[in-house]
Amino acid sequence: MTKFNRLTLVAAAEVVADFKSHSDMDVLEVQWGIDGRCDASSKAGRVASLAKIAIEEDIEAFTEHGPVPLGRALIETAIQAPPKTKAKPEWTRLVAGLRFDGFELVEDQTDGESDFSWQSGRTSTSLNLVRMLPADIPELDFREAESEVMLLIDRYCLTVTKGHLKQALSAFGRGEWASANGALRNFYESYLNEIAERLGYSGPQDSKLKRDFLGQLNPPFLLSDYNEWNVNNQKPQYIQGLMSRMHPHGGHPGLSEEEDATFRLQINLVTARLLLRRFDQRVP
């Protein structure tokens, strides 16, 4: 199976179809060993066929960089898109999908040789696909985190929490960073509230009081030994710190909305997996 999710591969096929002609795609399919298998009657049909093969089959495709999985070859082709294609929604979905898979696009500049000694060489720019985090460290696969989080949410019927997470993932996939951030804030607050209620909280409908309840349980759910929660508000507290990080005021120089939204998605999924696993072990 491929290491890239469906959103990424479908978007990659859409990007390629946007700037490649049918003849160009015929050549690519021959090169990748899948000629005759894609619906060539329309670009939409071709996109669907190509993405389906890349998602479902373990095919090795030959590229100028050597043999790679078909999904990787498709993405490597897509990131060569011209500026006109990069202004379209398909490109935004591709970038969002890659970030969710743990990859980002890094611009690389290469100085070329000049035709004349007195003339400076031309600089060419290309995009390279690089991992955001090491591949061999466990617990850092965000698709895996999302799957386990959703599994636990469904197991305990945390319906409000599920709705916020689905909204966040959907907005992130469309590149709507502000909407994704808002839904993630609601997601984070919601599952902590629902966990507190499932563990016996019956006071006012105040999220801070519910988090305090989780820290004061016996045994505690939020652990002061790990600086997750503390009765002294002046001490470092991860849970409240992340809540504050999810509610910043305005943008910050040097930090793009896309980078910030990616960080929020990743840290929220990892944190949710930790706390929902703990809840799963806590209940009968």
Q: Which residues pair with 128 in a beta bridge?
A: 106
Model pTM score: 0.73
DSSP states along 240-275: HHHHHHTS--S--TT--HHHHHHHHHHHHHHHHHHH
DSSP letter (8 states) at residue 33? T
For 219, the token pair is 């045994």
Q: Where are the domains of the chain?
A: 6-105, 142-282
Q: Is the dihedral of CA 51, 55, 56, 61 positive or negative?
A: positive
- If one counts every other C-beta atom within 10 angstroms of the C-beta of residue 239, the result is 21
Q: Which residue(s) pair with 116 in the sheet?
A: none
For the chain, the residue count is: 284
pLDDT in tens, 204-231: 999 999 999 999 999 999 999 999 999 9
- H or E element that contains 62: strand 60-63
Q: 95-137 pLDDT, tens per residue?
A: 988 988 888 888 876 555 555 555 555 555 777 888 776 665 5
Could you tell me if 46 and 29 are in contact, meaning their C-beta atoms sit under 8 angstroms apart? no
| DSSP states along 116-128 | STTSPPPEEEEEE
140-195 confidence digits (pLDDT tens): 667 777 888 999 999 999 999 999 999 999 998 888 888 999 999 999 999 999 99
User: Is the pLDDT score of 26 beyond 60?
Assistant: yes
* CATH architecture of structural domain 142-282: Up-down Bundle (1.20)
Q: How far apart are CA 241 and CA 243, in angstroms?
A: 5
Cis peptide bond N-terminal to 219, omega within 30: yes
Peptide bond into 236 cis (omega under 30): no
